[in-house]
Amino acid sequence: MTKPPREIAVSTDEGWDILITEELLPTVTDEELAKLRLTREQLHRLFAQGLKLMEGKTVSDRVRPVASETLDGKWFVYLVRYSPLTDPLMQGRRPKGVQSRN
C-alpha cells in the first residue's frame, strides 16, 4: 500500500484551494501567509493536524486534508474525498495508465 503524499490544501476566499506539500512548507513567504490570513505557527499546526488525520490512510483512500476558516476566524482541518481523474490538484500525478482527455 502506498502512503499518500504529506500535504494539506488550504481553502481561500476565492473558492479554490492551495496545495502545500511538506517540501514547500518552509518556503511559504510572509506575503503568502498574509493572503491566507494565517501565521506561520497556524500553518504548521494545521499541517500537523492534517498529518494526524491522514494516519493509516493510503493513496487508494482518495482523501486529502483541507484547512478551512470558519466565519468567526477559526481554522479547522477535515478530510475531503477526491477523484484523481477530475481533481485539478491531482494534475501531474495521474495514475499510471490513465490518459488525459484534452
Confidence of residue 13 (pLDDT cuts 50, 70, 90): confident
What b/e sequence results for 36-73 when a residue is b if at least 16 CB atoms lie within 10 Å of its CB, and e otherwise?
A: bebeeeebeebbebbeebbeebeeeeebbbbbbbeeee
What mean pLDDT is predicted for residues 36-55? 96
Cell numbers standing for residue 79: 478530510
Q: Does the residue 42 lie in any domain?
A: yes
Q: Is 89 contained in some domain? A: no
| pLDDT value for 42 | 97
Whether residue 40 lies inside any domain: the answer is yes
pLDDT for residue 86 is more than 80: no
Residue 22 lies in a domain: yes
Kindly state whether residue 58 falls inside one of the protein's structural domains: yes
Residue 70 inside a domain? The answer is: yes
Q: Looking at the 3D structure of the chain, how many domains does it have?
A: 1
Q: Is residue 94 part of a domain?
A: no
* 68 occurs within a structural domain: yes
Query: 50: domain range?
Result: 7-83
pTM, rounded to two decimals? 0.78
